[in-house]
């Protein structure tokens, strides 16, 4: 089992985009009024990120999209508070359990019924007045880096959104409070190049060489601080669900409500009181 110190030191080998994402998430969490008593993080690619969130205080649990990922993260963290999501992205917790839910970059798919269902599921497990923090790929109207990559989203990035699309996706259950962007032009170019090398069969760059390229790109991006980056972190506060339109069953029950109230799933929901 790896110690907390080893997990902490792993920050030195995070890819720069993940380090920037963690910095933005921590900025939002530290700026919130009141401390986080219960938090959930979903879908980070490195167990050390979950460890950093736990160091903020309060009680945190981690959810991974697959049982295999859950097993790896649980072994790294050395604790039981790691769960896997359901086949449809369901969160295995009772209603209104968390002060904050953090969705990692890549966890939210593109605009679709699946993305809407995930936002609705997060809304279900967040306490009244609680928060959601999520990171998505930011889609610029005229993004040079995206154009150079043939508008191809890097693998594992999930859906890409602009501000208007985020407002539309979250308007029924959340008030969007702010946006932060990172990974500007030069960092994004390195990220796209490394992704193509990994996915087209070419030899992937070593972590050491990639860190050098990212460091150089980060310095070049210093002159672009007034521009938006290609990675966007969103902060929103939960409100009562106000959806006006939804797909319904024959008896008028919304499909999402039918799924969330499926009695076969109720027995698999966890109360955090069992772990604290």
Q: What's the confidence (pLDDT) of residue 197?
A: 80
Q: What is the pLDDT of residue 260?
A: 47
Tell me the torsion sign for CA atoms 212, 213, 216, 221.
negative
pLDDT at 168 over 70: yes
Concatenate the DSSP letters of all residues of 85-151 into one string.
--TTS---B-SS-EEEEEEPTTSS-SSSHHHHHHHHHHHHHEEEEEEEEEEEEE--TT-HHHHHTTT
The torsion angles phi and psi of 79, rounded to 5 degrees, stand at -145, 165
Q: What is the pLDDT of residue 266?
A: 53
pLDDT of residue 206: 80
pLDDT (average), residues 42-49: 86
Predicted local confidence at residue 151, as pLDDT: 58
Contact criterion met (CB below 8 Å) for 185 and 145 = yes
Q: What is the pLDDT of residues 184-216, one digit of tens each?
A: 999 999 988 888 887 777 777 787 888 899 999
Q: Which domains does the chain have, with CATH numbers?
A: 4-139+156-183+231-267 (3.40.50.150)
Checking if the pLDDT of 103 tops 70, the result is yes
| CA 27 distance to own-chain centroid | 15
Mean pLDDT lowest among 59-68, 106-115, 135-144, 260-269 = 260-269
Query: What is the rounded average pLDDT of the residues 122-128?
Result: 95
**113 or 201: which leads in pLDDT:** 113
Highest mean pLDDT among 12-16, 32-36, 237-241, 270-274: 237-241
Kindly indicate the confidence band of residue 3, based on its pLDDT and cuts at 50, 70 and 90: very low
Contact criterion met (CB below 8 Å) for 96 and 128 = yes
Inform me whether the pLDDT recorded for 9 exceeds 50: no
Bridge partner residues of 234 (DSSP): 134, 179
Least confident of 69-73, 152-156, 245-249: 245-249
Rounded distance between C-alpha atoms, residue 236 and residue 223, angstroms: 29
Considering the chain, what percentage of its residues have pLDDT values greater than 90? 41
């Amino acid at each position: 089992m790896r110690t907390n110190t080893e997990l902490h030191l792993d920050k030195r080998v995070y890819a720069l985009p993940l380090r920037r994402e963690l910095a933005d998430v921590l900025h939002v969490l530290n700026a919130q009024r009141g401390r986080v008593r219960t938090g959930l993080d979903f879908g980070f690619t490195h167990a050390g990120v979950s460890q950093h969130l736990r160091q903020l205080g309060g009680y945190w649990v981690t959810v991974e999209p697959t049982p295999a990922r859950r097993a790896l993260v649980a072994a790294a963290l050395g604790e039981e508070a790691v769960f896997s999501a359901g086949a449809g992205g369901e969160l295995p917790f009772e209603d209104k359990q968390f002060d904050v839910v953090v969705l990692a970059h890549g966890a939210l798919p593109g605009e679709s019924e699946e993305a809407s269902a995930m936002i609705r599921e997060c809304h279900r497990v967040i306490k009244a007045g609680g928060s959601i923090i999520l990171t998505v790929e930011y889609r610029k109207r005229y993004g040079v880096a995206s154009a150079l990559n043939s508008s191809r989203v890097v693998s594992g990035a999930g859906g890409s959104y602009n501000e208007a699309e985020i407002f539309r996706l979250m308007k029924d259950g959340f008030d969007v409070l702010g946006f932060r962007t990172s990974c500007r032009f030069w960092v994004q170019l390195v990220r796209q190049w490394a992704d193509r090398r990994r996915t087209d069969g070419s030899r992937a760059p070593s972590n050491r060489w990639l860190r050098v390229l990212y460091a150089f790109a980060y310095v070049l991006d210093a002159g672009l601080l007034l521009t938006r980056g290609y990675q966007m972190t969103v902060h929103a506060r939960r409100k009562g669900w106000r959806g006006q339109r939804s797909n319904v069953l024959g008896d008028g029950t919304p499909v999402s409500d039918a799924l969330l109230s499926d009695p076969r799933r109720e027995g698999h929901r966890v109360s955090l009181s069992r772990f604290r």
